[in-house]
Amino acid sequence: MKRLKLLSLYAGILLLTLSGSASAQNKLNEMTPVSFSKVRIDDAFWSPRIDKVTSVTIPVCIEQTEVKTPRIRNFEKVARNTGEKHEGIYYDDSDVYKALEAIAYSLKNHPDAKLEAKADEWIDKIAAAQQPDGYLNTYYTLTGLDKRWTDMEKHEDYNAGHLIEAATAYYSTTGKKKLLNVAIRVADNIDNTFRAKNRHWVSGHEEIELALVKLYKITANKKYLDLADWFLQQRGHGYGEGAIWSNKHMGAKYCQDDVPVKDQTEIEGHAVRAMYLYTGAADVGAAKNDPAYMKAMETVWGDVVYRNMYITGGIGSSGSNEGFTQDYDLPNESAYCETCASVGMVLWNLRMNTLTGDAKYADVLERSLYNGALDGLSLTGDRFFYGNPLASDGDYGRSEWFGTACCPSNIARLVESLGNYIYASSSKAIWVNLFVGSNTTIPLQSGAVKVSQETNYPWDGNIRIGVEPLKKSTFPLYIRIPGWALNEPVPGSTYKYQDKVDSVISIQLNGKALQYTIKDGYAIISRTWKKGDAVTMNLPMPVRKIVATNRIQANVNRVALQRGPLVYCIEQADNGNKSKSFIVPQDATFTSEFNKNLLGGVVTLKAQVPVVVPSAAGNSVSMEQQPLVAIPYFSWANRGKSQMQVWLPTRIEAIVVQPTTATR
């Protein structure tokens, strides 16, 4: 593990450099995320985005689900039982469930009787389509129940997993049990069909595993945890051969079925399936206190982050398998980086952080959240990216919807459930993982504690954390010190800052210096807390230039720009046809400025840098100093299709020169 360099402005602050995290065995299940249902968000950056998802994105999902596509109609057809045909794709039920999950989170953030009535209407139709034995899948019910559970790739258990997730979320928000009871019957049917009979089954698209752990936590019925573990243990033994893998894409590797989960060491195959699998494995590992899962997850995580992750936190470079190829194969313009895969990175890294207590996982969660995932949603809330490339020649834009429509509802449920990722606790301690204006009340062994945040993050690094116990209480408060603020943008050696900046992090208690330690990426403040206590922290946000290892060939002689947690890009709308002709030398100096009138209000980066100016014939070039403007990566393509790039040339050799008469 890397050692962290500690910085402090104040004399008398105790500075300790501690290596690595404690063993997985000692750390398992130490902390639990505070549920979205317990967190109220009031944040300058996130609240407008949550509002937009509530007012625009969810209505779009509803319209597409019940009007413009046949997803709800299929449930109605099953209930009528008149021999009507199934419409759409066999996994379309899952989009209904993901939309319902987003609605559940939204009802917590913005109670709405009309929206709740719509959800209840859908739930009635879903319940009416359930079979007497608990089976629920419109595709097989309408095409022939005799064929159910005969094709591992037909997403029956994937659909069931998203149903379970929607049911647990809806119950957590409303207390209503109808959908939860449907989900319980679905899970019981699956358990009776497979685990109880020891009938081998490998889920073609993972999701059921993590969902069953959620059901276990809601119901306290260990059967569902055991079923999740059973699904994990089915992998890597050849049970899928001949059933789905022999003629599907890349074989067993495509669905992470070539090696038992506890023996896996490398990321492979379909990125979203992998993320859901590893999220489920981390969940089961924590719930069963099984260090074998933890060891595998730590090893695979290293392979993902050190060798297969984009600087945006996106994963899955190849569109041909919607996933991974070989280490360091990270092209920019052809990057796939599915929105759902970045959502999966958020889910998985939350579990890894929970399991280990190590902030490096929250660092990656934050990177994926603010860049790779948020990029999938337009500022208007009604346009989406399926893939999220890191460069464009101007021929790629956002879409209203997709035939396979997993991404819109997935990003909607992520944004609405942001409260799940901010705080964590044990019986004796509190963790602050994300810097989001919010408040919650956390029950500790010593008594309840109200925690609040005020901040303008990610535009600046000033954060105020209020800590108000109902009575004086002694406990440690853990505050994440982001890796990007400690001269390490991403763990490992894949990405490094080109320059070293001695940015001084300051932490004060009630306006005065305090003693704290740093361990596993957290500043730990242990004291007896009282009403009115407040911790203030400043994380400086200079503009940083990032270089990649030369093993990533696409980024040789290029730099990326980052400020705070945000990765930047340059877009044609701000730079004209020069957007692919800039050179950013090592000594380039950038300034930052908040522009309230641009892209809903963003901090832009500006510098005077050389630009390559070709002659009209294209047989010679000259160099001129011209202004470069960079915007946050998540905000690109909100002004139409446009040239864009994240990795900027540092030498003229990295530029493909076009004649000045050429237009793109």
Residue ranges and CATH numbers for the domains of the chain are 69-234 (no CATH), 423-538 (2.60.420), 543-654 (no CATH)
Model pLDDT for residues 57-69, shown as the tens digit of each residue: 999 999 999 999 9
3-state helix, strand, coil in the chain (%, to 5): 40, 20, 40
Q: Which residues contact 36 (CB under 8 A, 6 or more apart)?
A: 105, 108, 172, 416, 417, 418, 419, 420
Give the closest residue to 533 by CA, choosing from 607, 442, 472.
472
Cα 632 to chain center, whole Å? 17
- pLDDT over 50 at 364, yes or no: yes
How confident is the model over 534-557, as a mean pLDDT? 97
pLDDT at residue 488 in the model = 85
Measured distance CA(612)–CA(388) in Å, rounded:
27
- pLDDT over 70 at 448, yes or no: yes
Measured distance CA(567)–CA(490) in Å, rounded:
12
pLDDT at residue 652 in the model = 85
- pLDDT over 60 at 1, yes or no: no
Neighbours of 331 (CB within 10 A): 18
Tokens of 188: 């019981």
Model pLDDT for residues 116-148, shown as the tens digit of each residue: 999 999 999 999 999 999 999 999 999 999 999
- pLDDT over 90 at 615, yes or no: no
For residue 86, CA distances in Å to 79, 100, 643 come to 12, 21, 41
- pLDDT over 60 at 433, yes or no: yes
- pLDDT over 50 at 5, yes or no: no
pLDDT at residue 242 in the model = 57
Count Cα neighbours of 289 within 13 Å in the Cβ-side half-sphere. Answer: 5
- pLDDT over 70 at 482, yes or no: yes
Cα 16 to chain center, whole Å? 31
pLDDT at residue 656 in the model = 61
Measured distance CA(206)–CA(272) in Å, rounded:
8
Neighbours of 527 (CB within 10 A): 16
pLDDT bracket for residue 577 (50, 70, 90): confident
Percent of the chain, pLDDT > 70?
Answer: 92
Q: Sign (positive/negative) of CA torsion 131, 133, 138, 140? A: negative
The structure's pTM equals 0.93
Tokens of 342: 């970045």
pLDDT bracket for residue 657 (50, 70, 90): low
pLDDT at residue 12 in the model = 32
Tokens of 363: 């660092």
- pLDDT over 70 at 13, yes or no: no
Least confident span in 162-171, 248-257, 536-545, 638-647: 248-257
pLDDT at residue 618 in the model = 65
- pLDDT over 50 at 11, yes or no: no
Q: Sign (positive/negative) of CA torsion 254, 257, 260, 261? A: positive
Q: Are 255 and 269 in contact (CB under 8 A)?
A: yes
Give the closest residue to 123 by CA, choosing from 148, 104, 147.
104
How confident is the model over 97-111, as a mean pLDDT? 97
Angle at 188 between CA 187 and CA 190, to 5 degrees: 65
Strand, coil or helix: 246: helix
Q: Is 637 left (phi over 0), alpha (psi -120 to 50) or beta?
A: left
pLDDT bracket for residue 388 (50, 70, 90): very high
How confident is the model over 149-172, as a mean pLDDT? 96
Give the closest residue to 580 by CA, choosing from 662, 484, 466, 486.
662
Beta strand 32-33 pairing with 602-614: unpaired
Percent of the chain, pLDDT > 90?
Answer: 85
Model pLDDT for residues 224-244, shown as the tens digit of each residue: 999 999 999 999 999 986 555
Measured distance CA(419)–CA(53) in Å, rounded:
14
Measured distance CA(274)–CA(276) in Å, rounded:
6
Q: Are 274 and 205 in contact (CB under 8 A)?
A: no
pLDDT at residue 613 in the model = 85
- pLDDT over 70 at 250, yes or no: no
| Better-predicted residue by pLDDT, 1 or 381 | 381
pLDDT at residue 25 in the model = 40
Give the closest residue to 208 by CA, choosing from 243, 170, 163, 247.
163
How confident is the model over 391-419, as a mean pLDDT? 95
pLDDT bracket for residue 23 (50, 70, 90): very low
pLDDT at residue 7 in the model = 35
| Better-predicted residue by pLDDT, 404 or 12 | 404
- φ/ψ of 343, rounded to 5, equals -60, -45
Model pLDDT for residues 252-279, shown as the tens digit of each residue: 899 999 999 999 999 999 999 999 999 9
What average pLDDT does the structure give for the chain? 91
Q: Are 559 and 570 in contact (CB under 8 A)?
A: no
pLDDT bracket for residue 245 (50, 70, 90): low
- φ/ψ of 23, rounded to 5, equals -60, 155
- pLDDT over 80 at 249, yes or no: no
- φ/ψ of 322, rounded to 5, equals 50, 40
Measured distance CA(221)–CA(562) in Å, rounded:
46
